């Protein structure tokens, strides 16, 4: 049974006030809040067994290594991966996508086309653009439709016209919340012998993702949007692919032997993890997934979908706001503008009433350009939010709308 009151107790921050009002935290797409179990797992590490991992002969190093590598195994299993060599731990989705672009660069040739969703976060656009001048490849956007979905049929036409070598799309768009047809795009990439690269940063917090079943070449995500700490995330990729690709960064841990006559590299996954890893936050990341498991994540996401639907339906029925997109499958986000008002003004006034939302371009400037907007106000729901909070938000929004009209 999903017990919302009990779940909210697990998140100390949810009971604080902002400007004398109970906090309504609707900025989950930027980062989620953290339950006590995650906070404690990190302080336990520093309190009891803080030490560097790998190669240590002393007890603390052994304990830290076991916890770090145990966390990797658990993180992989959550995403349907049993081979820890296919789980690269790094700073988050941004670093994961940069790693992919930089390591597959050697497999691309002059004139190749990289298809990138028009609604991507900048983290899934800029690393590809950086290859353009270096390699003579071309980044071509996959058009979005008015509902906010990436158009698979247009992508098929682009594949028929161009030598497409990479298809890089978001599983869920962060500015709109559209759940894209990832299976369709991955199949299209396979048919064209192109790499499929999926940015799962906004999907992983809201649904169980089995990366093995998806059969994408690369899947990137960040822990901090899934109740885990900031500065840690994962890249999942097939072993044979990772074995073929060169390491990205050089340093400790990623080597087998170093000599001025030639250096050899470590096995997977460490070949892609140069330097001291983020041990504490990897442990916290794993604790976050264990927490999600403990609360019945499927039930939690079902509750979240109901709250999100209530929010979206209420917003669509208001003639004072314009909602961005209207995708068939819509996850967590409601991006909107109050008619005649700037998003920053709306967000700032909502904050005065205790409501935390994000305003601006949401690191998705091409999305804003397509819809002809400078930015939006983005409310985004997590499983610990409630219908009552949506009501508080709607009341606050109506007050703000009236204030701005005068
Ligand atoms: N991709 C998407 C869709 C995102 O929403 C974000 C963060 O907002 C990122 C990538 C970047 O994530 P991070 O900053 O954790 O690397």
Task: Say how far residue 100 (Cα) sits from the centre of its chain.
Answer: 15
Give the pLDDT score at 55.
Answer: 84
For atom 12 of ligand 1, the residue with the nearest CA is 93
Rg of the chain, C-alpha, whole Å: 22
DSSP 210: -
Collapsing DSSP to helix, strand or coil, 394 comes out as: helix
Q: In a structure prediction context, what are the per-residue pLDDT tens digits for the chain, which is 406 residues long?
A: 789 999 999 999 999 999 999 999 999 999 999 999 999 999 999 999 999 999 889 999 999 999 999 999 999 999 999 999 999 999 999 999 999 999 999 999 999 999 999 999 999 999 999 999 999 999 999 999 999 999 999 999 999 999 999 999 999 999 999 999 999 999 999 999 999 999 999 999 999 999 999 999 999 999 999 999 999 999 999 999 999 999 999 999 999 999 999 999 999 999 999 999 999 999 999 999 999 999 999 999 999 999 999 999 999 999 999 999 999 999 999 999 999 999 999 999 999 999 999 999 999 999 999 999 999 999 999 999 999 999 999 999 999 999 999 8
Q: Which token pair is 4?
A: 């919302």
Q: At what angle do helices 279-294 and 59-78 cross, to 10 degrees?
A: 50
Structural domain spans, the chain:
4-26+296-405, 40-292
Give the CA distances from residue 56 to residues 41, 44, 65, 71, 72, in Å, rounded to whole numbers and listed in that order.
Answer: 22, 20, 9, 18, 19
CA distance 264 to 259: 9
Give the pLDDT score at 275.
Answer: 97
* Residue found under tokens 């669509």: 316
For ligand 1, say whether the CB of 221 is within 6 Å of any of its atoms. Answer: no
Q: Is the domain 40-292 a CATH 3.30.420.80 member?
A: no
Give the CA distances from residue 387 to residues 42, 318, 390, in Å, rounded to whole numbers and listed in that order.
Answer: 32, 17, 5
CA distance 244 to 165: 16
By the 8 A CB rule, do 136 and 142 touch?
A: no
Q: Are strands 164-170 and 113-117 parallel, antiparallel or unpaired?
A: parallel
Q: Which token pair is 296?
A: 């019945």
Q: Are strands 138-142 and 113-117 parallel, antiparallel or unpaired?
A: parallel
For ligand 1, say whether the CB of 201 is within 6 Å of any of its atoms. Answer: yes
Which atom belonging to ligand 1 lies closest to the Cα atom of 95?
A: 16
Give the pLDDT score at 1.
Answer: 76
Determine which helix (DSSP H) or strand (DSSP E) holds 25, and give its type and residue range: strand 24-25
Distance 333 CA to ligand 1 centre (A): 14
| Top-level class of domain 4-26+296-405 | alpha beta
Give the pLDDT score at 314.
Answer: 98
Clarify whether 363 is annotated catalytic.
Answer: yes
Collapsing DSSP to helix, strand or coil, 169 comes out as: strand
Question: Angle CA(240)–CA(243)–CA(247) in degrees, nearest 5?
Answer: 145
Give the pLDDT score at 240.
Answer: 97
For atom 5 of ligand 1, the residue with the nearest CA is 174
Give the pLDDT score at 163.
Answer: 98
For ligand 1, say whether the CB of 386 is within 6 Å of any of its atoms. Answer: no
Buried b / exposed e along 253-286 (16+ C-beta atoms within 10 A): bbbeeeeeeeeebbebbbbbbbeebbbbbbbbbb
Which atom belonging to ligand 1 lies closest to the Cα atom of 224?
A: 15
Question: 116, 123, 224: which to mutate for ligand 1, most atoms within 8 A of CB?
Answer: 123
Ranges of beta strands (E only) in 119-180 are 138-142, 164-170
Q: Which token pair is 179?
A: 């759940």
pLDDT tens digits, 146-190? 999 999 999 999 999 999 999 999 999 999 999 999 999 999 999
By the 8 A CB rule, do 165 and 171 touch?
A: no
* Residue found under tokens 């169980």: 208
Distance 32 CA to ligand 1 centre (A): 12
- Expressed in angstroms, the distance from the first to the final Cα of the chain is 47
Distance 20 CA to ligand 1 centre (A): 31
Which atom belonging to ligand 1 lies closest to the Cα atom of 120?
A: 3
pLDDT tens digits, 250-271? 999 999 999 999 999 999 999 9
CB atoms within 10 A of CB 296: 16
By the 8 A CB rule, do 343 and 359 touch?
A: yes
Asked if the domains 4-26+296-405 and 40-292 are classified in one and the same CATH topology, the answer is no
Residue-wise DSSP of 334-352:
EEEEETTS-HHHHHHHHHH
By the 8 A CB rule, do 130 and 99 touch?
A: no
What lies within 8 Å, CB to CB, of 19 at 6+ separation is 351, 352, 353, 354
Question: 29, 91, 94, 378: which to mutate for ligand 1, most atoms within 8 A of CB?
Answer: 94
CA distance 165 to 146: 27
For ligand 1, say whether the CB of 222 is within 6 Å of any of its atoms. Answer: yes
Which atom belonging to ligand 1 lies closest to the Cα atom of 199?
A: 1
**pTM of the prediction?**
0.98
């Amino acid at each position: 049974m999903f017990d919302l009151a009990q779940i909210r107790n697990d998140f100390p921050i949810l009971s604080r006030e902002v400007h004398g009002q109970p906090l309504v935290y609707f900025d989950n797409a930027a980062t989620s809040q953290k339950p006590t179990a995650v906070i404690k797992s990190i302080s336990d590490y520093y309190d009891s067994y803080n030490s560097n991992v790998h190669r240590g002969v002393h007890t603390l190093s052994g304990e830290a290594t076991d916890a770090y590598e145990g966390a990797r195994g658990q993180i992989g299993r959550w995403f349907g991966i049993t081979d820890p060599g296919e789980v690269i731990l790094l700073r988050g989705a941004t670093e994961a996508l940069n790693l992919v672009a930089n390591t597959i660069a050697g497999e691309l040739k002059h004139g190749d086309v990289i298809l990138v969703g028009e609604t991507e976060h900048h983290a899934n656009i800029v690393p590809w653009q950086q290859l353009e001048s270096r390699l003579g490849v071309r980044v071509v956007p996959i058009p979005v439709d008015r509902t906010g979905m990436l158009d698979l049929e247009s992508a098929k036409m682009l594949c028929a016209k161009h030598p497409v070598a990479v298809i890089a799309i978001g599983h869920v768009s962060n500015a709109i919340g559209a759940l894209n047809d990832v299976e369709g795009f991955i199949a299209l990439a396979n048919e064209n012998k192109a790499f499929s690269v999926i940015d799962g940063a906004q999907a992983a917090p809201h649904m169980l993702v089995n990366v093995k079943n998806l059969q994408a070449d690369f899947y990137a995500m960040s822990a901090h949007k899934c109740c885990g700490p900031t500065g840690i995330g994962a890249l999942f990729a097939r072993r044979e692919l990772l074995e073929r690709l060169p390491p990205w960064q050089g340093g400790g841990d990623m080597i087998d032997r170093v000599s001025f006559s030639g250096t050899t590299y470590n096995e997977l996954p460490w070949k892609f993890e140069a330097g001291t890893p983020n041990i504490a936050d990897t442990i916290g990341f794993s604790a976050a997934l264990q927490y999600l498991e403990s609360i019945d994540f499927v039930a939690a996401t079902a509750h979240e979908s109901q709250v999100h639907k209530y929010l979206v339906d209420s917003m669509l029925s208001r003639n004072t706001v314009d909602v961005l997109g209207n995708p068939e499958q819509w996850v967590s986000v409601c991006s909107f503008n109050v008619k005649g008002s700037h998003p920053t003004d709306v967000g700032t006034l909502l904050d005065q009433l205790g409501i935390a939302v994000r305003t601006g371009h949401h690191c998705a400037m091409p999305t804003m350009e397509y819809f002809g907007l400078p930015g939006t106000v983005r409310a985004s729901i997590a499983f610990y939010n409630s219908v009552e909070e949506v009501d508080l938000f709607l009341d606050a929004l109506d007050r703000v709308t009236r204030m701005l009209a005068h």
